[in-house]
Amino acid sequence: MALTEYEKKVLEQMEASLREEDPALASQMSAPAAAEESEPSSGPRAPRRIALGFGGAVLGMVVLVAAVSLGYSVVSILLGVVGFALTVAGVLFALSRPGATSSEETGQAAKRKKNKESGGWDSFIQDQERRWDDRKNDD
């Protein structure tokens, strides 16, 4: 839904006043969004992956229903666990992206990226805490 002219005008006024009052905050708030958009973490989802994952999930549900219909036995319990595992694996496979890295590698990459940003968020928080303390001291 598009903004009305009045809403656009008010938004522009708010942005201008923010830039006048605290240009560092305004630039800091706009910088990370542009950096995140320019560096996609992984590629788009492949239709084949979605289809295979959906098929695996459906197969897992069929196995799960078959296990429930067998009654209470060790075989049905094991079959139910296998069916549930197939369902979860199928959904995860469908939602994953091709070329995605493992969680450990992702964590290391995020840590390197955070170190490169020279603590943007940390400095923002420290600045806000300093301002809060100054306001409390002025009272």
pLDDT in tens, 58-114: 999 999 999 989 888 888 999 999 999 999 999 999 888 776 555 555 555 555 555
Structural domain boundaries in the chain: 53-98
pTM of the entire predicted model? 0.43
Of 59 and 2, which is predicted with more confidence?
A: 59
Q: How far apart are CA 109 and CA 104, in angstroms?
A: 9
Environment class of 49 (CB within 10 Å of its CB; exposed 0-12, middle 13-18, buried 19+)? middle
Please, which pLDDT band fits residue 34 given cuts at 50, 70 and 90? very low
Buried b vs exposed e over 1-37: b needs ≥16 C-beta within 10 Å?
A: eeeeeeeeeeeeeeeeeeeeeeeeebeeeeeeeeeee
Which carries the bigger pLDDT value, residue 138 or residue 63?
63
